[in-house]
Every structure is written in structure tokens, then in C-alpha cells.
């Protein structure tokens, strides 16, 4: 009985998490890049740095090549809104007390074409907002998947209990029928027992009567033999 309860609790907890709406807000924020502060766009998310960092890296790989080995990460050959850019873009995550910030930005001085740099910077807010939405939706989907597994486990347990209930009901019905048959057999047995006791008593009486008759006849036979011997 403990296992189903555990599954049900897990299911309710997962549903509770899924039911809580989370809002994604992006903001301007600067980060140190190669010794200087660089203005960029950040999104603050409810999650550990490992969790956010892994999700952020996976998201960035969908439209850019990544060069690790330094913090922030450098993005190259980045494709934004169908346009490919060679100049570097930087991305990183920063852990705070209860949240983690994902950040993206660029150094305009590293871009030959200032118009391209400005155009890309305008895309950062959308990029980070989309990441925040994806992060929460993917995490909730994980919770939904876990809840579904828990639900399926409970349903399987429920089905096993239902099957067991039907089997027990059938066994009980058969047991009741057997009980009725045994009770009938017991009554027949009682009657037969009483009949046998009666016949045994009658047999004893008959034996006693026969024994008396045998003794009397023997006496008569002896009497006749005695008379026979007296004939001369």
C-alpha cells in the first residue's frame, strides 16, 4: 500500500509545479569581457547554474558555433534571423542567491560593420526572451513527463488491484459454494453417523438375543443327548 501512495504524492507535487506560471523578463546588464564591461541582455531564471548553463549551451548551439576555454563563451559563425555573422558574440551564466542569470552581448569595437553590430544587439532581447521561455517550458515538460510516468505507474497498480479484487471475488464465490456443499455433506455425514450408531446398537441387541438362543438350544441339545444315553 505504501508504493501507490508514493506515486500519488509525486504526481500531485509534479502537477503543482506545472500549475505555477512563470514570467520571463529580460533586462540590460553588463558583464566583464576581456577586462572591460560589455553591455548586453540578460534573463534571470529560477534554476541552478548547472541547469541553466546546460540549457543555455544547448540553445546557443542551435544557431552558433561555440568556443569554450574562457568565460564568457565565444560564439562564432552565428546565424540570427537567417543572416550569418563572423564577428564574436559572448555568452555566459552567473549564479545568484536563488536564481541564475543567462547573458549575451558583444563588443562593438570587435565588429567591422557598426550597423551589423547594432542590428544584432537589437536581436539579443528576443533571443534571451525565447531562451527563457524555452528553459521554463522544457523544465515543465520534464515535470509533465515525470508526472505521466507516476500516473502510469499508479494506473498499473490500480489495474493490478482491480484484477486482484476480481480474482478474490471469484475465489470467495467458489469458497461459498464449497462451504454450502461441505455443509450439505456434513448433514449427510451426521445422518449416516446416527444411522450407523443405531444399527450398531441394534446389532448388539441382536447378538445378545442370538447368544441367549444359542445357549438355550445347547441346553436342549444336551438334554436330548442325556435322554438318549438313558435309553437301555
From CA 227, how far away is CA 195, in angstroms rounded? 47
pLDDT at 1: 46
Domain boundaries, the chain: 11-147
The 10s digit of each residue's pLDDT in 79-123 is 999 999 999 999 999 999 899 999 999 999 999 999 999 999 999
Report whether 141 contacts 17 (CB < 8 A): no
From CA 14, how far away is CA 141, in angstroms rounded? 10
In this predicted structure, the answer to whether residue 14 has a pLDDT above a threshold of 80 is no
Alpha-carbon torsion (164, 166, 167, 171), positive or negative: positive
In this predicted structure, the answer to whether residue 19 has a pLDDT above a threshold of 70 is no
- Alpha-carbon separation of residue 52 from 87, 157, 206 (angstroms): 25, 36, 105
pLDDT at 16: 46
pLDDT at 223: 85
- Average pLDDT of the segment spanning 13-28: 67
From CA 212, how far away is CA 71, in angstroms rounded? 126
The 10s digit of each residue's pLDDT in 128-176 is 999 999 999 999 999 999 999 999 999 999 999 999 999 999 999 999 9
In this predicted structure, the answer to whether residue 208 has a pLDDT above a threshold of 50 is yes
- Report the predicted TM-score, pTM, of the whole model to 2 decimal places: 0.66
How many beta carbons lie within 10 A of that of residue 126, not counting itself?
A: 13
Looking at the chain, how many residues does it have? 232
- Which CATH architecture does the domain made up of 11-147 adopt? 2-Layer Sandwich (3.30)
Amino acid at each position: 500500500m505504501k508504493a501507490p501512495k508514493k506515486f500519488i504524492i509525486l504526481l500531485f507535487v509534479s502537477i503543482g509545479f506545472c500549475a505555477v506560471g512563470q514570467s520571463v523578463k529580460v533586462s540590460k546588464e553588463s558583464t566583464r569581457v576581456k577586462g572591460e564591461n560589455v553591455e548586453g541582455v540578460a534573463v534571470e531564471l529560477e534554476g541552478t547554474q548547472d541547469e541553466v548553463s546546460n540549457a543555455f549551451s544547448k540553445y546557443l548551439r542551435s544557431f552558433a558555433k561555440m568556443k569554450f576555454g574562457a568565460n564568457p563563451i565565444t560564439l562564432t559563425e552565428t546565424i540570427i534571423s537567417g543572416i550569418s555573422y563572423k564577428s564574436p558574440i559572448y555568452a555566459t551564466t552567473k549564479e545568484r542567491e536563488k536564481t541564475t542569470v543567462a547573458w549575451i552581448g558583444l563588443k562593438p569595437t570587435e565588429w567591422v560593420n557598426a550597423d551589423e553590430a547594432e542590428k544584432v544587439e537589437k536581436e539579443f532581447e528576443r533571443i534571451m526572451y525565447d531562451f527563457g521561455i524555452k528553459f521554463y517550458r522544457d523544465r515543465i515538460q520534464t515535470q509533465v513527463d515525470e508526472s505521466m510516468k507516476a500516473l502510469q505507474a499508479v494506473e498499473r497498480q490500480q489495474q493490478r488491484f482491480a484484477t486482484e479484487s476480481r480474482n478474490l471475488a471469484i475465489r470467495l464465490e467458489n469458497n461459498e459454494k464449497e462451504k454450502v456443499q461441505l455443509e450439505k455433506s456434513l448433514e449427510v455425514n451426521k445422518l449416516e453417523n446416527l444411522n450407523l450408531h443405531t444399527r450398531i446398537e441394534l446389532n448388539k441387541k441382536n447378538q445378545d438375543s442370538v447368544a441367549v438362543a444359542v445357549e438355550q438350544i445347547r441346553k436342549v441339545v444336551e438334554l436330548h443327548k442325556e435322554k438318549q444315553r438313558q435309553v437301555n
